[in-house]
Structure 1
Amino acid sequence: MTDHADDPITATVIQASLVAASDEMFAVLRKTAMSPIIYEVLDVGTGITDKDGELVSSGAGIPTFVGVLDKAVKRIVGLHGLDSIRDGDCFVTNDPYYGGVTHLNDVVIAMPVFAGGECVAWAASIAHWNDVGGRTPGSMAVDVSEIFQEGLRLPAVKLFEAGRPIASVFDIISANSRMPDFVRGDLWAQVAASRKAETRIRQLVETYGAAAYHAAIDDLFREGERRGRAGLGSIPQGVYSIEEEQDDGAIWRASITVSAERFTVDLSGNPQQRDAPYNTSRDGAVISCQMILKALTDPTLFANAGSFRALEVVTEPGTIFHAEGNAPHGYYFETRIRLYDMLWRCMAEALPDRLPAGHFASICGTVIAGDHPDTGRRFTMVEPQMGGWGATAAGDGLDAMYSTSHGETFNCPVEICEARYGIDVGHKRLNETDEGQGWHKGGKGLSVNYRPRGCAVLSAGYSRNRQPVWGLAGGASGGTNGLSVRRRDGSLERHAFVSGLVVEPGDEILIDTANGGGWGQMQGRG
């Protein structure tokens, strides 16, 4: 084996191979998972970190999920100590207070990778599991006041020790899910993904040597920092502030300070954490800030720990953006997407020719659980919805896209929905409203009609249900997101956040997502 530590070509090969290994993780997870939310919607993230948890490379999937992985690994290392972690160990966490970052449905599997007796990397993935217990099928209840009510907590515990599964942990996971066969299948898919990356990383170290491997990672971090700081130089220096009213009447605030060296987001002065599932962890707030920085400085697929070295985030413990104690997190994603959207608006109003108007800014997560009317098998459909994106100075917004933080995901095909869940889809089409007018128009939202053929239980969370999508540079707002249930007798029930709602055969679930905001005034448009 030749020492390639100072060879730039070798460094490039190693770096590209690490990106490819993350992509292979994603492919394995997609092909082996049990749940459509993983293999169809791609509600996952995969990545590789260095031994300390610094992000090296990532696969496809949800960008904010990729942002979880380095933070999860750092928490695992901090809790267990790198000196006590051995080859063949594997860890699991879903708890936002123990590196899980998001909510209990999103489970992180992290495996240390050893080569030559040394821990050189971690292979980690995160995926949404259909059910981890809690008050309601699908584990996404709105009527909770503590995290204990939301389901099974896995506080960064060992799943494997020295290559051997810890049977009691597997048993605890299975016993706490209404769909144990699905959680077991999805768990093993994540383990298989980590093992694939482990094989690739060991091959790299064996082929090129440990010195060359570590040098390539150091060079990768330097390149990420160089690109991030170069992009930072393109943003006018100054202080940008915003206050925004939310659907519940609360006022959120943010201040962004751009200097030659730092991009500082100050989230001080925001509402106190709630005894309801609308909190996010500090790590979750940091991810929103990382995403706006990345969009402004280097909007490419290239991302690693170096990309964010110019970022500083200020939060106050005990607030909705830095929840502590036992605060619940079930609908954290609505808080985080609205934070991201607010930061986007803050910068878009300062740079209207560079950034688009607002988009529908909600995951519009829709969970329908029940027994299949034909087979009797229990199912849980987890379906984020699509909506309109904002117009830009250059053109109209995009129709029926996922939220900007949801990334490279897909909608579940109608055929899968009807076959796997026994839910007929009356229609799925672009909505017919005219919101989002302007010199350039916002993209169209979506109108969906679900008709369960058996008795089912509905849980959902729709933000921007009262405060409309914002337009830019004089463009009109894009409307609001809405969810309703039309009963067999013709009565209509409107909801924004709901769980445990029984839907009978003959009832219809009606979904309308907002158009994107318009850009510029209408005058002069031909």
Structure 2
Amino acid sequence: MTKQDTFTHDPVTFDIIQNGIQAVADEMFVAQVKTSMSAIIYEVLDLSTSILDAKGEIAASGAGIPAFIGVLDKAIHGILQKFPLDDIRPGDLFATNDPYYGGVSHLNDMVLASPVFSEGRLVAWVANIAHWNDVGGMVPGSMSSDATEIFQEGVRIPAVKLFDRGEENKAVFDILYVNTRLPDYLRGDLWAGIAGLRIGERRVLEIIEKYGTDIFEAAIADFMDFGETRARAALKTLPEGTYSFEEEQDSGQIHKVEITISKDEFLVDLTDNPAQAGSSNSSREGTEIAVQLAFKSFTDPDAPGNGGFFRPLTVKTTPGTIFHVQEPGALGYYSEVEIRLFDMLLRALAHHFPGVVPAGNFASICGTVVGGPHPDTGRHYTIVEPQVGGWGAWQGNDGPSGQFSGFHGETFNCPAEVAEARYGLTVDQVALNPELGGEGQWRGGKGIDVHYRVRADNNFLSVGYTRSRIPPWGVNGGRDGSCNYVEVLRTDGSSERHAFATNVEVNTDDVIRVVTGNGGGFGDPAKRSAEDLARDIRDEYLTPERAREVYGHQG
């Protein structure tokens, strides 16, 4: 009897392999973090890694941004559409950042992917994605709210081979290096991504060597089926029906969704939505990711988020709308479209299924780009930061403070010490947001109030914040939270407030004040306990005077 016969359909062996590929995805993640040049990767962890099956379905994922995990299967699908199977060989390594060629998000996010071969056949893929600080385009940082087409946003890499059968395609590397204002950082981040893929391929082949190709493939297929089983079991617990919802956005536009739940399908219809415009658009694939995240959060958060889990999910869109941009539409601020959709879906489900979802959260990436000549070296720098904010309260619990949105996931803010050491800024203040908003029997979590002082002239600021006009919603009598915005405090005493802005000039000793929203409250503020109010005052979330004003007693 062969080793393969012994282990065929052995659930213990399958479980070992399934956990093994998860460990591989995590090791890929750590390798890329440890070797990257840019703080947005090695501090913020703005990246993701995955092991995928031969067809490009996600089998296992590393840590990082949930919205990135869902990119990688769609990127492999794009590669497979462009390259016939007989043109994909051992030693190949593909790159794509173009949303119209499998890149999914925007040009700053580079996907790298390698096929894994065993016994002469394609059996898996290893892939990663990371945000690069600058890939050219009309503005430093490559994200402009003024862009109207993708040609203005940077260099487009349309699913091409960086390595062909192990041989470096130097022309593509040269194109990448010359189309950035930060060539050293791009080079370092690129090779960190390549290193992550190489270690991932090596580890997958070690698993295959131990258990055999057929058993490896069977274990992956079994894991996909398990994901589907969990999703369908969760669907059967939900009441069938059609649930509609619409929500006004900061721009005044109305976003609409219709959700139809049956025992076999979870259908999300987004066909009736505004036309694409500017740089706030999402690819069709990006829209699917936002829906996938909401679907999993609502149905079975603990199930494996592999390709099988999403088989019962169907998404409908209309080409030419913000949720299904058509070429050459711009996508620089795609993230704000997708996070607004993710947030709206959760709110729609909260509306129709009370008690399942907390009050609203600050729900924005709050992308903040600052750069210019470094005051010490004169060399160009660019800092790209997402921001943390307040989450909504729910019955029995205050909302968490200073967290990334659920869309942005397992990531971190850049420490003040790193920002000051690596970039031309001084961090004057890192504090929680003292503004009113989110009061309730259980209060919303606090956003942040961070001050960056500029140290040189001719610097720039670009931002893309939503929930800047309409705050996170309160529940059961809890007050709405507060809004996200950036305020520039000038040395002459003047100030201006921004939500979306590109290349705002900032000079020596101007202060960039980043303010993110407090989450919505839950329950009547008058019912907040004296003990909780006393803790709020002690922790400086609240002054005694504000407690009397808002809650009616001091605590």
TM-score by shorter chain over 0.5: yes
With structure 2 as the length reference, what TM-score do the two structures score? 0.93
Q: Taking structure 1 as reference, are residues 15 and 96 closer, same or farther at Cα in structure 2, changes over 3 Å only?
A: same
| Partner secondary structure for residue 196 of structure 1 | helix
Q: Which runs of 5+ in 1 are unaligned?
A: none
Residue matched to 2:405:
403
Partner AA of 1:35 in structure 2: S
Kept in 1, the 8 Å contact 2:95–2:113? The answer is yes
Does residue 311 of structure 1 match 2:313?
Answer: yes
Residue matched to 2:111:
108
Partner AA of 1:83 in structure 2: D
- Distance across 2 between alignment mates of 1:227 and 1:34: 39
Partner AA of 1:77 in structure 2: L
- Distance across 2 between alignment mates of 1:2 and 1:133: 53
Residue matched to 1:474:
477
Partner AA of 1:435 in structure 2: G
Does residue 250 of structure 1 match 2:250?
Answer: no
Does residue 465 of structure 1 match 2:468?
Answer: yes
Structure label with greater radius of gyration: 2
Shift of 1:237: 2.2
| Partner secondary structure for residue 60 of structure 2 | strand
Kept in 2, the 8 Å contact 1:352–1:393? The answer is no
Partner AA of 1:315 in structure 2: T
Residue matched to 1:370:
372
Q: What are the superposed Cα offsets for residues 273-325 of structure 1, whole Å, 9 maximum, x if unpaired?
A: 11x10000010110011001110122127210011111010101110000002
Residue matched to 1:228:
231
Shift of 1:226: 1.2
What is the aligned residue count?
525
Does residue 454 of structure 1 match 2:451?
Answer: no
Shift of 1:473: 2.7
Shift of 1:523: 4.7
Partner AA of 1:381 in structure 2: I
Partner AA of 2:63 in structure 1: A
Q: What are the superposed Cα offsets for residues 194-240 of structure 1, whole Å, 9 maximum, x if unpaired?
A: 11110011111111111111110111011111111222223322222
Residue matched to 1:488:
491
- Distance across 2 between alignment mates of 1:498 and 1:235: 43
| Partner secondary structure for residue 473 of structure 1 | coil
Out of 39, 45, 58, the position equivalent to 2:61 is: 58
Indicate the RMSD between aligned Cα atoms, in angstroms. 1.1
- Distance across 1 between alignment mates of 2:467 and 2:516: 9
Q: Which runs of 5+ in 2 are unaligned?
A: 530-555
Shift of 1:471: 1.4
Partner AA of 1:374 in structure 2: D
With structure 1 as the length reference, what TM-score do the two structures score? 0.98
Kept in 2, the 8 Å contact 1:230–1:297? The answer is no
Shift of 1:513: 0.7
Kept in 2, the 8 Å contact 1:341–1:361? The answer is yes
Residue matched to 2:439:
437
| Partner secondary structure for residue 49 of structure 1 | strand
| Partner secondary structure for residue 230 of structure 1 | helix
Out of 172, 179, 182, the position equivalent to 2:182 is: 179
- Distance across 1 between alignment mates of 2:293 and 2:85: 29
Map 1:257-406 to 2 at 5 A.
Answer: 257-274=260-277, 276-300=278-302, 302-406=304-408
Q: What are the superposed Cα offsets for residues 220-269 of structure 1, whole Å, 9 maximum, x if unpaired?
A: 01111111122222332222211111111111100111111111100011
Out of 514, 536, 547, the position equivalent to 1:511 is: 514
Residue matched to 1:122:
125
- Distance across 1 between alignment mates of 2:321 and 2:522: 33
Partner AA of 1:304 in structure 2: N
Residue matched to 1:428:
430
- Distance across 2 between alignment mates of 1:240 and 1:57: 32
- Distance across 2 between alignment mates of 1:523 and 1:185: 55
- Distance across 2 between alignment mates of 1:415 and 1:301: 38
Kept in 1, the 8 Å contact 2:230–2:303? The answer is no
Kept in 2, the 8 Å contact 1:5–1:213? The answer is no
Does residue 497 of structure 1 match 2:477?
Answer: no
- Distance across 1 between alignment mates of 2:524 and 2:260: 29
Kept in 2, the 8 Å contact 1:19–1:58? The answer is yes
Q: What are the superposed Cα offsets for residues 140-171 of structure 1, whole Å, 9 maximum, x if unpaired?
A: 11111111001100000111001111000000
- Distance across 2 between alignment mates of 1:102 and 1:466: 25
- Distance across 2 between alignment mates of 1:176 and 1:5: 51
- Distance across 2 between alignment mates of 1:210 and 1:347: 43
| Partner secondary structure for residue 514 of structure 1 | coil
- Distance across 2 between alignment mates of 1:472 and 1:235: 22
- Distance across 1 between alignment mates of 2:240 and 2:85: 40
| Partner secondary structure for residue 385 of structure 1 | coil
Shift of 1:122: 0.6
Partner AA of 2:322 in structure 1: I
- Distance across 2 between alignment mates of 1:364 and 1:135: 20
Out of 205, 209, 217, the position equivalent to 1:206 is: 209
